[in-house]
Amino acid sequence: MTDRAAIFLTTARRVIGIEAAALNLLESALDDSFAEAVEVMLNARGRIIVCGMGKSGHIARKIAATLASTGTPAQFVHPAEASHGDLGMVAQGDVALILSNSGETSELADILAHAKRFRIPVIGVAGNASSTLMQQSDVGIVLPEADEACGTGVVPTSSTTMALALGDALAVALMEQRQFTAEHFRAFHPGGKLGAQLRLVRDLMHRGDALPLVAGSAPMSDVLIEISQKGFGVAGVTGPDGRLAGIITDGDLRRHMSGLLDHSAAEVMTADPRFISPDALVQEAVATMNERRITCLFVVDQSQDPGSGQAIGLIHIHDCLRIGLG
């Protein structure tokens, strides 16, 4: 390691250490005002309007995005733009969450006045308990005094980290009260890697005539045709009651190579195959396939009738790779 690299690492560790200490201070400083803020946000009939200028504005945008994606309707409103028409975005029933480390940001004046005029509750977040923002807020959350990590004390670093963490804490508290689940989260995140991880097996599975299924009494000549035509490299074997009784893979074919065509499907199959629910996450299907070193899983829906055991679909590893999982 060069001397320059060592200096860079020392700086990075110092910054992270200072900001971590600030987060510890924030954790200890939280009081009933946090709980009051959560209650006010839970009772909002409209949206949470999140505001901030400069670096606080960037943090406010992130908080609004986190709230909106976790079940709490929210929108960022730029305080300067609010004074030029965007106040129309803020209506009765909304709650304003306003961030300003000093609590004296002049651009907040119009939105604070608008909130008072229309009786919109204001939750203020600032580092100065006696500031204008705190005095004008219905609920005030004071950020503790902490050293900025810049060394000069003027660059927002620790203060913005605390504000960001506070926003996450509010969002998670609201999530838990709303009983917001992974399924709800999936509905707000259909795209990208995260969306792929939260998709359900039923979204990707093959169904109907695409399923490679044969009866247990079927001769192996018919099984080979079914495997070849459907193209998954396997065939599911059903019993007299229609339940999935087994599966035939290339491994089963190799084990019965001698006299293969003299057997029936039930004689060659591996009984009680592993299957998955249509309501399981695709990520779970991938984990099962990787663990078992297999390339596909039959899908069995037992939610309505636990005794049915009928195959309603099949999910292949290629389907998972196509959406970025695997």
- CATH assignment of the domain containing 224: 3.10.580.10
User: Residue 182's pLDDT band (boundaries 50, 70, 90)?
Assistant: low
Query: Is the per-residue pLDDT at 99 higher than 80?
Result: yes
Q: Which two tokens stand for residue 56?
A: 């606080």
Looking at 180, 214, 229, the residue that finishes a domain is 180
Distances (CA, A) of 105 to 52, 55, 94, 139: 9, 12, 22, 18
Query: Is the per-residue pLDDT at 188 higher than 90?
Result: no
- 191 lies in some domain: no
| Residues 245 and 235 sit within 8 Å (Cβ to Cβ) | no
Looking at 121, 151, 180, the residue that finishes a domain is 180
Structural domain range at position 217: 201-322
Regarding whether 246 and 157 lie in a shared domain, the answer is no
pLDDT at 154: 80
Say what percent of the chain tops pLDDT 70. Answer: 92
- 194 lies in some domain: no
- 186 lies in some domain: no
Regarding whether 159 and 235 lie in a shared domain, the answer is no
- For residues 36 and 150, the model is more confident at 36
Counted domains in the chain: 2
- For residues 189 and 262, the model is more confident at 262
Interval 211-235 mean pLDDT: 93
Regarding whether 225 and 95 lie in a shared domain, the answer is no
Interval 178-187 mean pLDDT: 65
Lowest mean pLDDT, pick from 110-124, 185-199, 281-295: 185-199
**CA atoms lying within 13 Å on the CB side of residue 260:** 15
Regarding whether 216 and 311 lie in a shared domain, the answer is yes
Regarding whether 30 and 122 lie in a shared domain, the answer is yes
Looking at 146, 180, 214, the residue that finishes a domain is 180
> Which strand (E) or helix (H) includes residue 302?
none
pLDDT at 199: 79
Interval 48-73 mean pLDDT: 93
Regarding whether 171 and 128 lie in a shared domain, the answer is yes
Look at residues 62, 63, 109 and name the one whose alpha carbon lies nearest to residue 82.
Answer: 109
- 217 lies in some domain: yes
- 193 lies in some domain: no
Say what percent of the chain tops pLDDT 90. Answer: 62
Regarding whether 243 and 166 lie in a shared domain, the answer is no
293 backbone φψ class: left, alpha, beta (φ>0; ψ -120 to 50): left
Look at residues 322, 294, 301, 324 and name the one whose alpha carbon lies nearest to residue 233.
Answer: 294
Regarding whether 211 and 114 lie in a shared domain, the answer is no
Average pLDDT in the chain: 89
Regarding whether 7 and 122 lie in a shared domain, the answer is yes
In whole angstroms, give the CA distance from residue 144 to residue 311. Answer: 58
Regarding whether 128 and 233 lie in a shared domain, the answer is no
Residues 6+ apart with CB under 8 A from 316: 206, 232, 295, 296
Lowest mean pLDDT, pick from 233-247, 261-275, 309-323: 309-323
Query: What's the CATH code of the domain at 66?
Result: 3.40.50.10490
Which pTM value belongs to this model?
A: 0.63
- 192 lies in some domain: no
Regarding whether 162 and 49 lie in a shared domain, the answer is yes
- 190 lies in some domain: no
Lowest mean pLDDT, pick from 134-138, 283-287, 301-305: 301-305
Lowest mean pLDDT, pick from 81-85, 125-129, 158-162: 81-85
Q: Which two tokens stand for residue 98?
A: 């306003």
Query: Is the per-residue pLDDT at 132 higher than 90?
Result: yes
- 261 lies in some domain: yes
Positive or negative torsion for Cα 201, 205, 208, 212:
negative
Look at residues 74, 151, 141 and name the one whose alpha carbon lies nearest to residue 101.
Answer: 141
In whole angstroms, give the CA distance from residue 312 to residue 243. Answer: 10
Regarding whether 61 and 123 lie in a shared domain, the answer is yes
> Which strand (E) or helix (H) includes residue 222?
helix 220-230
